Structure 1
Amino acid sequence: MAQAIEIGYALDRRTGNFIVTKIDHIFPARSRFHRQQIVVLPNAFFRALPSVDRRSVANVIDITANQAHELGFIVREKSEVAAYGFAVTA
Structure 2
Amino acid sequence: MAKLLVLILVGYILYKMFKGRSAAKEVRRDADQEEETFRDPVCGTYVARGDAVIGNLEGRKLYFCSMSCLEKFRDQLENSEKNSIGGEK
TM-score class normalised by the smaller sequence? under 0.3
TM-score by length of 1: 0.27
Query: Relative contact order (alpha carbons < 8 A, sep ≥ 6): 1 or 2 greater?
Result: 1
Q: Which has the larger radius of gyration?
A: 2
More helix, by proportion: 2
More strand, by proportion: 1
TM-score by length of 2: 0.27
